[in-house]
Amino acid sequence: MRRRAALGAALLAIAAAAAGAQAAGPGFDGPTIKSPRLTPDFALRDQHGRRVELYRLHGKVVLLTFLYTHCPDACPLTAERLNAALHALGPERRQAAVVVVSVDPRGDTPRAVRAFIAAHRLLPQFHYLTGPRSVLAPIWRAYGVSSYAQAGDRVDHTLYTLLLDRRGLSRVLYDSTAATAAFISHDVRILLSR
Query: What domains can be seen in the chain, in order of their start residue?
Result: 2-192 (3.40.30.10)
Residue 175 in 3-state DSSP? coil
At 181 the pLDDT is 96
Amino acid at 97: A
DSSP 130: B
Among the listed residues 62, 69, 13, 70, the one whose alpha carbon sits nearest the alpha carbon of residue 42 = 62
What b/e readout covers 29-65, taking b as 16+ CB neighbours within 10 angstroms? bbbbbeebeebeebebbbbeeeebebeebbebbbbbb
Reply yes or no on whether the pLDDT at 133 is more than 90.
yes
pLDDT band at 138 (very low <50, low <70, confident <90, very high): very high
Least confident of 59-73, 108-122, 148-162, 176-190: 148-162
At 26 the pLDDT is 63
CA separation for the pair 134, 155 (Å, rounded): 17
CA separation for the pair 154, 110 (Å, rounded): 18
Render pLDDT for 26-47 as a digit per residue (tens, 0 to 9): 699 999 999 999 999 999 999 9
**Phi and psi dihedrals of 15, rounded to 5?**
-65, -40
pLDDT band at 141 (very low <50, low <70, confident <90, very high): very high
Are the CB atoms for 142 and 116 separated by under 8 Å?
A: no
pTM of the model: 0.86
Q: Which residues are within 8 A (CB) of 48 and not within 5 positions of it... i.e. 6 or more apart? A: none
Among the listed residues 42, 22, 41, 45, the one whose alpha carbon sits nearest the alpha carbon of residue 33 = 22
At 81 the pLDDT is 96
Higher-pLDDT residue of 152 and 193 is: 193
Provide the mean pLDDT of the chain.
87
Reply yes or no on whether the pLDDT at 193 is more than 60.
yes
DSSP 139: H
pLDDT band at 2 (very low <50, low <70, confident <90, very high): very low
